[in-house]
Amino acid sequence: MATTIFRRDHLLRRILNPGTTATDYLGRLTTSTLDSSGRALVAIDWPGAVANTLGQLVDIPATRIVYRCTVAGTSAAGDPTAPGVGNTVVSGTTTWLQLTSAGT
């Protein structure tokens, strides 16, 4: 089974070098699942064609856009087309709400 890599903290700030040597935006060490204050990390890499749960956060590594699942279902294999912050896009049978703009 693939390892889940979390890419964002609770405020959706990017985690640098996610995994065993991860740091937050200020260079503070994090674990693979917790930030430097012990809060859970969120936003996994885009999972591709898998079942998604309501409220799940995903990060598209190529664009750095974060989406929240608003209608659970199975996503398509490819990245969704960015609809713009605050708008939704359907990927497979999953509906995603775009939370951040590209590059953030």
Domain spans, the chain:
1-42, 46-104
Q: Are 66 and 58 in contact (CB under 8 A)?
A: yes
Q: Tens digit of pLDDT per residue, the chain (104 long)? A: 456 677 888 888 888 766 667 777 788 888 778 888 888 888 888 888 889 999 999 998 888 899 999 999 999 998 899 999 999 999 999 999 999 998 77
Q: Are 23 and 16 in contact (CB under 8 A)?
A: yes
Q: Are 95 and 71 in contact (CB under 8 A)?
A: yes
Give the span between the Cα atoms of 98 and 87, in whole angstroms: 6
pLDDT at 20: 65
